[in-house]
């Protein structure tokens, strides 16, 4: 298995520290609002990675944290006139619901920052003792970036270049504009915890260093996250963790690609910001998941009506192949599993893996007159699809997904009315009913056994 390492900027043969067992940490949500599509992109990407590692026989400990205290959470709780516990509790419940609907499996551990305050304080104290951090006059504790010689290696940045571009209006309490906060002194009315430097709360970056090393050890195999976290968050994690432990922090760094909306960066100011739950009100969750799986995890994804239509049509090809076939495990001619495995072992190449599945679907259709071979091919198609979190429903359930605002009893009534018109040889009326249903996304399929329907909505 080869994985692209952001740190070395190349694919590397993956060799876990503990042969056969993988320890992976992924930066999770800051729970001040509902998850948006960018979060969904990251969640699904690492869900596929998790599924494949386990399918490949690795024992996996997957840790994905929750940031439940930071500036955004405090501001939102104050604006809502609620406690941070009430706000974060609601958002965590909503996040878990969104994950389930997208088929994202839960992590093995889901540590929360507020449960690791003591661990954070111990790490900060160690950094101060080793000269990598200092208690400033304003009560905050800062990390000395220039003290860590490898700073910038993950993102191929030179601290001197970063210093020359730093803002002029820097925090005067810092020794250097590049220094970042480890502990923020308490502001009256805000959540705080006691510490050797006075009441306060942790900075965002130190939270992940403490949680990851507490859960997985000083050095672990994989650290992942969204594309916006490589700098400065992950760069700062490396500096903090390695300075505190004296050991290499992470062997392989992985970053998911960005998600764009109509080829533009998603932002509230552009009016193209979508939460997961808003999207799933209008679109089938499996269609959204397919869109996120169909691109390589490191590639950017464009979310737009046409891309969702393409995703729907692709899934229909699979489910149409499975429709009416009795899925039974059996011998399959062809090297489908071998090529699927090769694709996934090549840095989790899901587009190539899906190409293998499309070949399988064609073979199912080609062998429909051979129930034994068609059933075995269908079994293999479903098995491979399940590895990607797809094809976990019956064909009827997916193909007859009722569009929003349409009752399936209404559809049945319209089919019966059309049949009556055909019996009366009123073909104009029969065509009118068929076309009216098609306009609503309901496509009728006539056969000797009768009339069935599928949905072409998203």
The count of C-alpha atoms lying within 13 angstroms of the C-alpha of 299, restricted to the half-sphere facing its C-beta, is 14
Spatial contact of 143 and 236, defined as CB atoms under 8 Å apart: yes
Binding residues for ATP: 268
Buried b / exposed e across 132-142, counting CB within 10 Å, b at 16+? bbbbbeeebbb
Written as six digits, the tokens of 271 are 């009016």
Spatial contact of 437 and 444, defined as CB atoms under 8 Å apart: yes
Q: Which residues contact 90 (CB under 8 A, 6 or more apart)?
A: none
Which residue shows structure tokens 């729970």? 31
Residue 260: beta bridge partners?
265, 302
Buried b / exposed e across 144-174, counting CB within 10 Å, b at 16+? bbebbeebbebeeeeeeebeeeeeeeeeebb
Q: Which of 232, 211, 231 is nearest to 220 (CA)?
A: 211
Q: Which of 367, 439, 376, 340 is nearest to 51 (CA)?
A: 340
Binding residues for Zn(2+): 27, 208, 233, 237
- Edge to edge, the sheet with strand 264-265 lists 264-265, 259-261, 301-303
Written as six digits, the tokens of 31 are 């729970």
By the 10 Å C-beta count (0-12 exposed, 13-18 middle, 19+ buried), 72 is classed as: middle
How do beta strands 21-26 and 10-13 pair?
unpaired
Binding residues: 27, 208, 233, 237, 268
Alpha helices by DSSP H, 81-137: 84-101, 117-129
């Amino acid at each position: 298995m080869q994985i692209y390492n952001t740190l070395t900027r190349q694919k590397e043969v993956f060799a876990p520290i503990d042969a056969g067992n993988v320890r992976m940490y992924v930066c999770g949500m800051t729970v001040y609002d509902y998850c948006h599509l960018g979060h969904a992109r990251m969640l699904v990407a690492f869900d596929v990675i998790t599924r494949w590692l386990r399918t490949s026989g690795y024992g996996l400990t997957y840790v994905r944290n929750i940031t439940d205290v930071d500036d955004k959470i405090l501001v939102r709780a104050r604006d809502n006139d609620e406690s941070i516990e009430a706000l974060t509790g609601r958002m965590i419940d909503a996040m878990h619901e969104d994950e389930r609907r997208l088929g994202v499996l839960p992590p093995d551990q889901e540590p929360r920052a507020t449960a690791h305050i003591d661990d954070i304080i111990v790490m900060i104290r160690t950094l101060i003792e080793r000269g990598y951090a200092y208690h400033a006059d304003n009560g905050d504790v800062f990390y000395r970036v220039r003290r860590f010689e490898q700073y910038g290696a993950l993102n191929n940045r030179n601290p001197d270049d970063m210093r020359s571009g730093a803002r002029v209006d820097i925090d005067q309490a810092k020794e250097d504009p590049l220094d970042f906060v480890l502990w923020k002194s308490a502001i009256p009315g805000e959540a705080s915890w006691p510490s050797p430097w006075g009441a306060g709360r942790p900075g965002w970056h130190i939270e992940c260093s403490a949680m990851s090393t507490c859960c997985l050890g000083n050095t672990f195999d994989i650290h992942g996250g969204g594309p916006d976290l490589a700098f400065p968050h992950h760069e700062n994690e490396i500096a903090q963790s390695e300075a505190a432990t004296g050991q290499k922090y992470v062997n392989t760094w992985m970053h998911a690609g960005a998600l764009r909306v109509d080829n533009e960066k998603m932002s509230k100011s552009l009016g193209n910001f979508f939460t997961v739950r808003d999207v799933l009100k209008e679109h089938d969750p499996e269609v959204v998941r397919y869109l996120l799986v169909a691109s390589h995890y490191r590639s950017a994804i464009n979310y737009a009506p046409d891309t969702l239509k393409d995703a729907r049509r692709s899934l229909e090809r699979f489910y149409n192949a499975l429709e009416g076939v009795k899925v039974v495990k059996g011998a399959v001619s062809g090297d489908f599993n071998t090529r699927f495995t090769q694709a996934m072992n090549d840095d989790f190449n899901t587009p190539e893996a899906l190409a293998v599945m499309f070949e399988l679907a064609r073979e199912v259709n080609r062998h429909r007159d051979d129930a034994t071979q068609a059933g075995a091919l269908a079994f293999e198609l479903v098995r491979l699809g399940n590895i990607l979190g797809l094809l976990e429903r019956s064909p009827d359930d997916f193909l007859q997904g009722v569009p929003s605002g349409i009752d399936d009893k209404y559809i049945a009534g319209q089919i019966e009315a059309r049949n009556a018109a055909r019996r009366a040889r009123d073909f104009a009326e029969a065509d009118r009913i068929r076309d009216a249903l098609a306009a609503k996304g309901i496509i009728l399929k006539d056969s000797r056994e009768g009339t069935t329907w599928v949905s072409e909505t998203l």
